[in-house]
Structure 1
Amino acid sequence: MKRLTFILTLLISGLAVINGQQPISPAIQQQVQSELEKRGVTEAELRERLLTKGVDPDRITPEQLPRFQQIIEETIAELEAEKKAAMPDTPNAAETEAAAGDLPSPPPTENPPANAEPPAASPSNLPDQDPAKDEIYGHHLFENQNIAVFRKSDDVKAPDNYLLGPGDQLVVSIFGASLKNEVLEVSRQGFVEPGDLPRIYVNGLTLAATRELLEKRYGQRYFFSRNEFTVTLNYSRSITVNIVGEVKRSGSYTLPAINTAINALMAADGLTDIASVRQIKLIRSGSPEKIIDLYGYLNDPTIQQDLYMQDNDYLFVPIAQRTVTIRGAVNRPYIFELLPGEQLNALLKWAGGLKNNAALNNIQIRRYANDQQLLIDVNLRELQDQGRDFNLNPGDVIVVPAIPTTAENVVSIQGSVDFPGEYAYEAGLRLNDLLARGRLSLAARRDIAYLLKRNVDGSLRYHLIDLAAILANPSSGANTNIEPGDQLIILSQRAYIDAGEVSVTGAVRDPRSYPYNAATGLRVSDLVVLAGGLTENASSIAYLYRQSPRDDNHIEYIRLNIQEIVRNPSSSQNISLLPNDDLRIYTNDYFKENANVYVAGAVRNPGDYRYDPTLTLTDVLLQAGGLTIAGATNR
């Protein structure tokens, strides 16, 4: 017993770890006893409960204390919660005065639990976190108000398995041959008292069972069919529940009984980072503990309807004991809490299963054991084929690798084919097989091709292929086998044509450029015809600007008589065009000087007039409006 006292001294009084053989003073023993009395726990009870969990306090050394600290603190809190649950209802004044739908702040306590934490920041103020790295799957339920807390009894319709208790109000309606409508309230003794029937005990019954019971009793006095009788919950009573353990705001909460245990956890601002999601205890006086597994709720949300609470129930959230992390090619890469007996197969189930690209032959498990990190390779495919499982330890990190995005059983054909792309490799596949799948285009060269191979070191090799021999005789030696990763390159005849254009500008109706190569065979007259012919003011002068294909800075200027070429296409000036030739045809106006004649003095409209060789002095005077009266005609 002294050893347990010593261990509790280290935990409760906060003393530094000292040699286990050092005597414990009477003052320290008294401090331990006083602390346990405040919590309603005796050393004998604590010792017995620890032994049931496989912890012998007589064998714990001070050096081992950090390993057992959590389970000892959790056991004390567990015993404390059970003691409080067994006590008669004694709501304090603050709870009595609180409105039925209000959620008061938890009352201050003189002795907060040893693992109490300050209130956490609201979810909106928390930094963004990667749930795959540092969040236990299930904690997200209580983030960003995902779970509602019903603050009023009429916020939600009561389901059939709602448990009735004192303070609940029911509405009974009969319509048809008989008419009846009355409100029944469950008394403190658990009865409802219809106006013209004996009282009926309904405390602890579900709403569905109560409806069936009332239908039988009312049927003794009234006439109605089954579909002419209804019982609904009009008002949900208020209950006080106590929420302790790893929640962000532990305390007592008064709220409508329509809330389930999961709603109540949201009233306490959710769970802490180390909270269990699979061993939450619903403790009720006189009843066995009920274990709440949030993973079951996530798989089937309807099970929360079995988690309605009664007045003075306790919700105890312990620390998550057996957590493992899974990453990689799974649908839910989170930290998961596993129950005793659950191993790798269960983990994969909770993780939502494997992705389609998961590589099963070699998943890896990182494990800490014997003060070192171990790496374990596991052939998951072999385990699944044999129907076996793999045992996991707390803290294991499981990595499921993804299959590389590049397929290995692939060959491809590219270039001048109708269906370029990748094709599945098959044993014995030859070049003509790949040619048949890709199908040569009309422009494809049919004499040679290239086969590209990749070496293991990433370097490339090009092999010249005698394509003509393969097409002529598929049995020829040129039609070799191909290997995974090979790429057949088909050349195009178009690649060997110097693409270019010819252009015409100036005195034509449709000046523009035309695609052209040396094999096109157009002459100057053809280009004029393509451009819609010469305009009416086209001169006979044109120049062909010819750029040297070997020197971009060298341009040859060729003067042409364009009128002669149009009249006589067989003229020697009607030369053949070359790619990038530029024909420029000039108008007659291009060669005229833009001169003016200025008339001033005794004329009616002095000013500038456009000059032309046909313009005479008389003409310009007449255009100026003639002479005025003062104009001298002799000089």
Structure 2
Amino acid sequence: MNIDLFGYSDANFKLKVSPDGTIRIPNLGPVKVAGLSFETAQQKIKSQLSKIYPQIASGQTSVQVTLGSIRSIRVTMIGEIQKPGTYTLPSLATIANALYVSGGPDAIGSYRDIQLVRNGKTIAVFDLYDFLLKGDLTKNLRLEDDDIIRVNPYETRVTITGAIKRKAIYEARKSETLEDLLAIAGGFDDYAYRSFIRVERNTKSAREAITVNADQFKTFTLLSGDHYSIDSISSRFTNKVVISGAVFHPGVYSTKEFATLKPLLEKAGLREEAYLQRAMIKRRNENYIPKTIDINLADILSGKTDFILQREDSVRVFSLLELLDKYSVTINGEVNRPDSYNYTDSMQLQDLILMAGGFKEGASGKKIEIARRVRDSVSEKDSNRYSIVKVIELNKKLDENSDAPKFILQPFDIVSVRKNPSYLEQVSIKVEGQVMYPGDYSIEKRHERISDIIQRAGGFRSDAYLPGALLMRGKTEDANTKSQELQRLNLLSSSDSTKNLNSDSLINKMNAYTSSIGINLQEALTHPGSKYDVFVEGGDRLVIPKE
């Protein structure tokens, strides 16, 4: 031990603890420190030094005690231990320290019967449960040289499962009861059924089942191999009634506070859209067969009658919105967002067109067609009529001040906006090969011919091979697919990427969307306007090969 004095007096002592547990301080004599904690030993040394250094008591001299090198001891671990053997430990080591370095008890080792043997006598029995569950280290004695720690086999082990806080296998002492086991396991959890515990116990020849009531917990002894099962309480309610549907506060209520339906409805709060002519109560009969009871809520709320509730009743309040079909109206044709839209009361045709993004540029306000469902609530005879069709004319401005009629829509109306017959989008023909100015040419008029296009393209080059001219036209089965695929194939055929494509494959793809029109280009140019000078159409492709 190192003892430093500083202040009024200045001194330093390096002292060794003798085998008998004492240190010898010069001019003072031996001081016994064996068995003391470091703090207690420090106070004892300070008290002894104050006899020859009186300034310590007045605070003029300070004392600092530190440990130098700690002496080592040898401890032997035997019995049911993970790694039995002899270990060299610091002289301040305890039973718990020795258990840690040796791996603790093995599979059959006891956690509650760990003996400290010194000079052939058992001087302490350490119970790990006291430390783990209570933090009690009073039996965790400090070890001395040549001590022996013996871990005995367990005597009683039991298993506890179910609604308990710490489900596990526990070791029990002979004197402990089921009540002690519950305390070790942390007690029942919040949903445990506490009236009894079921036990499975081994006998000499078989297993037996035992039911232990709550008043027997204190006296029921534990046997090794017991399995204790703790049930959870039933999910059933003793006083539950449920209300759902068109109420502000749906959920579970008590039949003690709400014995009849009227106060329950007032507490849950009916929504404005609640259907008052009929509500449904589901109830279980005595034989647990479900039963449906119909109630008039208007009579309940007016006080004409009331309905007595029972446990597990379920009240369903319907909403008027649930009873209505999901109304919608549909618009198609020349609007920006043709689709189906939710119907609202007093919805006008102009409103629907605005919801659809307004008219397209080529839309016609004339001959807007509305197809309406046939609703005949009087006659139930079969009818040949599918719908009622109305045709109206509408100002495309859609302003409120316009003279257009305020046409009121009905649920499931289908509105069709037609295209202006005089509105035409630009179409073009692609000219390739041996012409002066190959490229795309917009068609100027409806009856434009090949000769007109050739003239606009600047005529032929000198090496043009007219007999091999080819006019390809898209097939009309699927116009949208044809147009898109033709554009893609035109790009492919005119780009360098076609070098890596199989020519037969490209031709097959083009044939799938195009057809070849036989033309006599020489005759068409010689006799413009004749039958040889065919009309061109948008999307055509005229190819003039090289001679």
| TM-score computed with the length of structure 1 as normaliser | 0.61
Aligned pair partner of 1:218 in 24, 49, 64: 49
Distance in 2 separating the partners of 1:255 and 1:599 = 98
User: Deviations along 1:446-504, whole A, 9 cap, x unmatched?
Assistant: 1211110124655311001121211111xx4x412211111001011111211132233
For residue 359 of structure 1, the aligned residue among 193, 197, 217 is 193
Paired with 2:37 and 2:233, the residues of 1 have a C-alpha distance of 52
Letter in 2 for 1:586: K
Trace 1:466-505 onto structure 2 (pairs within 5 A). 466-473=296-303, 476=304, 478-505=305-332
Q: 1:450 aligns with which of 275, 280, 286?
A: 280
Pairwise CA distance, 1:324 = 2.4
Matches within 5 A, 1:171-570: 171-222=2-53, 223-225=55-57, 228-285=62-119, 289-301=123-135, 303=137, 306-369=140-203, 371-380=205-214, 382=215, 388-426=218-256, 429-455=259-285, 458-473=288-303, 476=304, 478-508=305-335, 513-516=340-343, 520-528=345-353, 530-531=355-356, 534=359, 537-539=362-364, 540-544=366-370, 558=389, 560-563=391-394, 569-570=404-405
How far apart, CA to CA, are the structure 1 residues paired with 2:428 and 2:33? Answer: 118
- Asked if the contact 1:562–1:585 (Cα under 8 Å) also holds between the matched residues in 2, the reply is no
Query: What's the CA shift string for 1:413-434, capped at 9, x where partnerless?
Result: 0111111111123177111122
The CA deviation at 1:532 is 6.2
Amino acid at match of 1:528: I
1:579 is matched with which residue? 412
Give distance in 1, aligned partners of 2:98 and 2:90. Answer: 10
Report the structure, 1 or 2, having the larger strand content: 2
Q: How many angstroms does 1:372 deviate by?
A: 4.4
Tell me, in whole angstroms, the C-alpha distance in 2 between the residues paired with 1:538 and 1:431.
59
Structure 1 position 404, deviation (Å): 2.7
Q: Give, in angstroms, the shift of residue 604 of structure 1.
A: 8.3
SS in 1 for 2:301: helix
Aligned-partner residue type, residue 522 of structure 1 = M
Q: Would you say the 8 A contact 2:110–2:154 is kept in 1?
A: yes
* Structure 1 stretch displaced more, 342-351 or 177-186: 177-186
Structure 1 residue 235, shift from structure 2 partner:
2.7
Partner of 1:279: helix, strand, or coil? Answer: strand
Q: How much is the aligned-residue C-alpha RMSD, in angstroms?
A: 4.2
> Separation in 2 of the partners of 1:439 and 1:373?
58
Given residue 207 of structure 1, which amino acid in structure 2 is its aligned partner? F
For structure 2, the residue ranges without an aligned partner over 5 or more in a row are: 377-384, 460-527, 529-547
Deviations 1:122-141, CA, capped at 9 Å, x for gaps: xxxxxxxxxxxxxxxxxxxx
Distance in 1 (CA, whole Å) between partners of 2:68 and 2:16 is 9
Aligned-pair CA distance for 1:402:
1.2
Q: Cα 1:448–1:213, aligned 2, differ >3 Å: closer, same or farther?
A: same
Does the 8 Å CA contact 1:501/1:581 hold for their aligned counterparts?
no
Mapped contact 1:503–1:513 kept (Cα < 8 A): yes
8 A contact 2:427–2:442 mirrored in 1: no
Partners of 1:595 and 1:268 lie apart in 2 by: 93
Write the mapping of 1:148-167 to structure 2, written as runs, cut at 5 A. Answer: none
Once residues 598 and 513 of structure 1 are traced to their aligned partners in structure 2, the CA distance between those partners, rounded to angstroms, is 43
Which residue number in structure 2 is paired with residue 125 of structure 1?
none
Give the C-alpha shift of residue 403 in structure 1: 1.2
Q: Report if the CA contact (8 A) 1:344-1:391 is conserved.
A: yes
Tell me, in whole angstroms, the C-alpha distance in 2 between the residues paired with 1:613 and 1:602.
23
- Give 3-state SS (helix, strand or coil) of 2:419's partner: strand
SS in 2 for 1:434: helix
Q: Is the 8 A contact 1:448 1:467 kept in 2?
A: yes
Structure with bigger gyration radius: 2
- The answer (yes or no) to whether the contact 1:603–1:621 under 8 Å persists in 2 is no
Deviations 1:289-330 (A, max 9, x none): 201011111134461784211111111111111222222111
Q: Matched residue of 2:14: which SS? A: strand
| Stretch deviating more after TM superposition (344-353 or 230-239) | 230-239
* Displacement of 1:339: 2.2
Look up the SS of the partner of 1:265 in the other structure: helix
Letter of the aligned partner of 1:182 in structure 2? F
- Distance change in 2, residues 1:379/1:424 (3 Å): farther
- How far off is 1:606 after superposition? 8.9
Alpha-carbon spacing, 1:407–1:173, altered in 2? closer, same or farther (3 Å)? farther
1:561 to partner: Cα distance? 4.7
Distance, in Å, in 1 between the alignment partners of 2:12 and 2:134 is 37
Distance 1:247 1:563, change over 3 A: same
Contact 2:133 2:184 survives alignment (8 Å): no
Q: Is the 8 A contact 1:544 1:584 kept in 2?
A: no
CA contact (8 A) 2:438 2:457 kept: yes
Aligned residues: 448
**Quick one: structure 1 residues 597 and 266, their matched pair in 2 at CA, closer, same or farther if it must change by over 3 Å?**
closer
User: More helix per residue: 1 or 2?
Assistant: 1
Instruction: Describe the shift of the 1:406–1:236 C-alpha distance in structure 2 as closer, same or farther (beyond 3 A).
Output: farther
| Aligned equivalent of 2:444 | 611
Q: Give the aligned residue type for 2:14.
A: V
| AA matched with 2:256 | E
Separation of aligned partners in 2, 1:598 and 1:342: 104
C-alpha change, 1:535 and 1:196, in structure 2 (3 Å) is same
